[in-house]
């Protein structure tokens, strides 16, 4: 969604409540492309980017507004580890946390790669739709301990966030099992992240 209207007017019409803009801040592109950059917030959540064609102006009168989506697609790749009993029969889920909150539990039940996911050395890919979370912070991943063989050896989780243009890798290398007082859920911090060209998920 884009417009050449005043971004405060447009944002206020898009939301019922009054929108408070953050003070305009100039990015490097201001010097390269004659453009200033700012953001607007609604109830503490960043809702749009603002590009102003009049750099260093104290007031943004006219610019181009691009609203952030309320929901987004996440590409989640889950790699089961290399152990003889690594697979799980349980129902798995992931919960993604960011600066705006979390997605809630997202079921990992529609693998693009395998009709029966989470076998030894499998990489299973899932396309999930959930609220925008802002800046990535952590994930929780686990299962419901159901089935004949619920114990799961999880290797890694990779999450692509197209609206942000970043990929995050979470290394687990642990069993998700209640055996020996273990846990069927793990909290993981990103071990690495990298940028890529923004776009739609295939």
Confidence check: pLDDT of 93 > 90: yes
What is residue 140's predicted lDDT score, i.e. its pLDDT?
98
Q: Which of 128-132, 153-157, 191-195 has the highest mean pLDDT?
A: 153-157
Q: What is the pLDDT of residues 26-64, one digit of tens each?
A: 333 444 444 445 555 555 555 555 555 544 444 444 445
- The pTM of this model reads 0.68
- CATH numeric code, 71-195: 2.60.60.20
Q: Say which range, 60-64, 164-168, 192-196, has the weakest mean pLDDT.
A: 60-64
Q: Which of 118, 154, 157, 122 is nearest to 139 (CA)?
A: 157
100-108 long-range CB contacts below 8 Å, 24 or more apart? 100/45, 100/46, 100/131, 100/132, 100/133, 100/134, 101/131, 101/133, 101/134, 102/133, 103/74, 103/128, 103/130, 103/131, 103/133, 104/130, 106/74, 106/76, 106/130, 108/76, 108/78
Parallel, antiparallel, or unpaired: how do β-strands 136-143 and 92-98 relate? antiparallel
Q: What is the pLDDT of residues 8-28, one digit of tens each?
A: 555 555 555 544 444 434 333
Q: How far apart are CA 193 and CA 133, in angstroms?
A: 16
């Amino acid at each position: 969604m884009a417009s050449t209207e005043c971004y405060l007017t447009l944002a206020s019409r898009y939301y019922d409540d009054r929108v408070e803009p953050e003070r305009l801040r100039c990015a490097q592109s201001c010097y390269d492309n004659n453009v200033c950059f700012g953001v607007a917030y609604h109830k503490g959540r960043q809702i749009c980017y603002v590009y102003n064609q009049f750099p260093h102006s104290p007031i943004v009168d006219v610019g181009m507004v691009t609203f952030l989506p309320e929901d987004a697609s996440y590409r989640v790749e889950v790699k089961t580890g290399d152990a003889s009993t690594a697979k799980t029969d349980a129902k798995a889920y992931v919960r993604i946390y960011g600066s705006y909150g979390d997605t809630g539990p997202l079921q990992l039940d529609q693998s693009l790669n395998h009709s029966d996911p989470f076998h030894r050395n499998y990489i299973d890919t899932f396309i999930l739709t959930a609220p925008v979370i802002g800046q990535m912070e952590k994930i929780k991943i686990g299962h419901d301990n159901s089935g004949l063989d619920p114990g799961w050896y999880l290797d890694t989780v990779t999450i692509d966030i197209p609206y942000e243009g970043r990929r995050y890798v979470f290394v687990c290398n642990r069993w998700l099992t209640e055996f020996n007082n273990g846990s069927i859920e793990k909290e993981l911090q990103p071990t690495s992240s990298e940028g890529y060209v923004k776009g739609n998920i295939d």
